[in-house]
């Protein structure tokens, strides 16, 4: 069941509960990205709510860390999870949370392995371009 939920939320981008709340990061644990640099599926039994979005944490400890300072975890995710390479090319693309780079405490997601490979060749260039595009969208 957990696997099905994860697949559905990845396919749909940001999933939704029956009560209308959004599921952030495709069901992946935000603490895993920021603290461990790993994409780890969260568990609904360790759910946390922040700004109208539900985030699934991978453990009780991860939930405790997230709940203590959710803004720092959500704030580390750049461009609200859209593909960093896509933004640098003026395209707002959904990303796959299992494909990411962690640079200076920030998490950048990508729509494909190819997009990540492009980004990783010159992160400063892509971050600069993506930041400029993101500013236009705000």
Say if CB 109 and CB 26 are below 8 A apart. Answer: no
Condensed to tens digits (0 to 9), the pLDDT of residues 100-116 reads 999 999 999 999 999 99
Say if residues 77 and 109 touch (Cβ distance below 8 Å).
yes
Under a CB-based contact definition with an 8 Å cutoff, are residues 24 and 14 in contact? Answer: yes
The dihedral through the CA atoms of 130, 135, 137, 138 has a sign that is positive
User: What is the pLDDT confidence band of residue 30, given thresholds at 50, 70 and 90?
Assistant: very high
Write down the residue that tokens 């704030």 correspond to: 75
Q: What is the pTM of this model?
A: 0.82
């Amino acid at each position: 069941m957990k696997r099905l939920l994860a697949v559905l939320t990845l396919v749909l981008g940001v999933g939704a509960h029956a009560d209308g709340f959004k599921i952030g990061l495709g069901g992946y644990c935000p603490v895993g990205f920021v603290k461990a640099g790993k994409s780890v599926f969260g568990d609904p039994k360790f759910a946390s709510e922040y700004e109208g979005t539900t985030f699934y944490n991978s453990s009780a400890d991860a939930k405790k860390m997230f709940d203590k300072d959710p803004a720092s975890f959500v704030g580390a995710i750049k461009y609200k999870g859209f593909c960093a390479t896509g933004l640098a090319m003026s395209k707002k693309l959904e990303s796959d949370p299992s494909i990411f780079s962690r640079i200076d405490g920030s998490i950048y997601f990508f729509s494909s392995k190819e997009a990540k490979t492009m980004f990783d060749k010159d992160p400063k260039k892509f971050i600069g371009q993506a930041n400029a595009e993101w500013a236009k969208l705000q």
